[in-house]
Structure 1
Amino acid sequence: MIEIRWHGRGGQGAFTAARLLGHAVSIHDGKYAQAFPSFGPERRGAPVLAFTRISDNKISDRSQVEKCDYVVVLDETLYGPSVIKGLKNNGILVINSKKNPSEFAGHGFKVITIDATELSLKTLKRPITNVPMLGALIAASGLTNLDAAYESIDSGLSPAIREKNKKVLLEAYNSVKEEA
């Protein structure tokens, strides 16, 4: 089983990204997936967690993800010991940051940084980093492909924002692929 933990702030779309990934791999790649949020009294800007599980077999575990293969951080200010806790050795941290990956390294996992905020502002005109971070994760992990992600966006987002989100997903995907 592959487990992903998403760290974001209310309003950034962490759960939406978790759900889009789950939808892409379950509907389009024939795998089983779970996507679920974890937050207290939600308010814009408050820290939130979301989780995605992916498996070739039915998933019965409904608990929060403690040990994960990937951690995706939508807001760099959330980064700290609690964010990387449970990230498996040889796992991947994907973080929305202008900083060099070496500034987060040294813990036994690979680090990928991408300025998703800039991409979002340029294309979406809002600092909603969920879809570019999804694109970065897909590029770093190979968990699904772009066509499945596009189809997930088409079925999971409102028609008014689909094309811009597909564009920013591709830009983030290509940015990470170029760095690899």
Structure 2
Amino acid sequence: MKSYWEIRWHARGGQGAWTASQFLASAALSVNKYFQSFPEFGAEREGAPIVAYTKISDMPIKNYSQIEEPDAVVVLDPTLFSQVNFLNGLKSDGYLIVNYPGDPKQLREELKIPPGIKVFTVDATKIALETLKRPITNTTMAGALVKATGILNFEDVVNEMIRSFSGKFKQEIIDANVNAIRRAYEEVKQG
């Protein structure tokens, strides 16, 4: 596994991309890794495109700038395809993890994704609706990212979800989010 990861998250305001970034960073902290998590938005309103960033490392992170060449890009909302160049700067051997109901090969052809980039899809909206009863895909996409990249151990991520949600949410909400992460982890497809 790589010892240093830079992840860029694309979503719309209100979809929880920064929350997912923070959650992933918290999971990294729980296993003694170094991290940074920060959003990029100004006066955007709910529904406007936003970007969030996560850095995870085995060593201290001394670069505090935005991520220009991410190792992985996570797209929470496929309606952004026509509005955002989410492939911008993605390393030629990077990971693209997309909330998309179709096959990754279909997505690769549709968006003309270069061959070196590893493409993963998961129908995160469907999973979120079935488990959370809401189309909020942030925790679901975190599960897909973990499976696609191996950035963190799955059980460490689940344990952090339980720990960080305990006392803040009812048990059924915690269980639903754990189920959403687990399903995305199991259902993500590579093409």
TM-score by length of 2: 0.87
Superimposed CA distance per residue, residues 1-35 of structure 1 (whole angstroms, 9 cap, x where no aligned partner): 210000011111101111111111122x2210111
Superimposed CA distance per residue, residues 64-119 of structure 1 (whole angstroms, 9 cap, x where no aligned partner): 11101100000011125620011101111000011221233231301111110000
Question: In structure 1, what is the equivalent of residue 180 of structure 2?
Answer: 168
Q: Equivalents in 2 of 1:104, 1:87: separation in Å?
A: 16
Question: In structure 2, what is the equivalent of residue 91 of structure 1?
Answer: 94
Q: Secondary structure in 2 aligned to 1:18? A: helix
Gaps of 5+ in 1: none
Matched to 2:80, the amino acid is: L
Question: In structure 2, what is the equivalent of residue 119 of structure 1?
Answer: 127
- The Cα of 1:179 is off from its aligned counterpart by 5.7
Indicate conservation of the 8 Å contact 2:5/2:151, yes or no.
no
Q: Equivalents in 2 of 1:149, 1:11: separation in Å?
A: 22
1:33-112 → structure 2 map (5 Å cutoff): 33-79=35-81, 82-105=85-108, 106-107=113-114, 108-112=116-120
Gaps of 5+ in 2: none
Matched to 2:62, the amino acid is: S
Q: 1:179 to 1:73 in 2, by over 3 A?
A: closer
Q: Secondary structure in 2 aligned to 1:93? A: strand
Indicate conservation of the 8 Å contact 2:35/2:56, yes or no.
yes
Question: In structure 2, what is the equivalent of residue 154 of structure 1?
Answer: 162
Q: Secondary structure in 1 aligned to 2:86? A: helix
Indicate conservation of the 8 Å contact 2:104/2:121, yes or no.
yes
Q: Equivalents in 2 of 1:152, 1:34: separation in Å?
A: 17
Aligned-residue RMSD, C-alpha: 1.6
Percent of aligned pairs with the same amino acid: 44
Q: Secondary structure in 2 aligned to 1:140? A: helix
Q: Equivalents in 1 of 2:77, 2:152: separation in Å?
A: 23
Q: Secondary structure in 2 aligned to 1:61? A: coil
Q: Equivalents in 2 of 1:61, 1:162: separation in Å?
A: 34
Q: Equivalents in 1 of 2:149, 2:177: separation in Å?
A: 20
TM-score by length of 1: 0.92
1:22 correspondence with 2:25? yes
Aligned residues: 178
